[in-house]
Amino acid sequence: MKCSRGLRIVFGVIFLVIFAAYFVMRFNVSPRTRDFDSDHAFVYSEVQAVLDSGMSLEEYFKDDPRYAHLAGQAAAEEQQAESTPEPTPEVTPEPTPEPGSPEAKAAELGLPAPPDIDITSWEYVLVNGDHSIGQYEPAQLAYLNQTASETDIQTAYNANRCPVDERIAQALLDMAKGCKDAGLPVFLSSGYRSYSEQAANFQRVCQNNGVSDGKDSNGHYITMPAGCSEHQTGLSCDITDVYREIKNSEIENTDTYKWLLEHCAEYGFIHRFPSGKEDVTGVMYEPFHFRYVGIEAARYIEDNGLCLEEFVELYSGSASEAEAEPTPSPAA
Helix (H, G, I), strand (E, B) or coil at 185: coil
The pLDDT, as a whole number, for residue 63 is: 65
Rounded Cα–Cα distance for residues 266 and 171 (Å): 10
The pLDDT score that the predictor gives to residue 145 is 97
How much is the pLDDT for 284? 97
CA 271-275-276 angle, to 5 degrees, is 125
Output the pLDDT for position 250. Answer: 92
- Give the separation between CA 176 and CA 169, rounded to whole angstroms: 11
Distance, CA of 267 to CA of 252 (rounded, Å): 20
The CA distance from 188 to 249, in Å, is 17
Q: Is 320 left (phi over 0), alpha (psi -120 to 50) or beta?
A: alpha
- Averaged in consecutive runs of 10 residues, what is the pLDDT profile of the chain (332 residues)? 57 64 52 48 59 65 59 65 72 76 95 96 97 97 96 96 98 98 97 97 96 96 97 98 90 97 98 97 97 98 98 80 42 36
Q: Which amino acid is at 229?
A: S
CB 275 within 8 A of CB 248: no
Beta bridge partners of 270: 291
Domains of the chain: 5-83 (no CATH), 102-323 (3.30.1380.10)
Angle ∠(226,228,231) on CA atoms, nearest 5: 85
Residue 324's pLDDT is 37
Q: Is 172 in contact with 144 (CB distance < 8 Å)?
A: yes
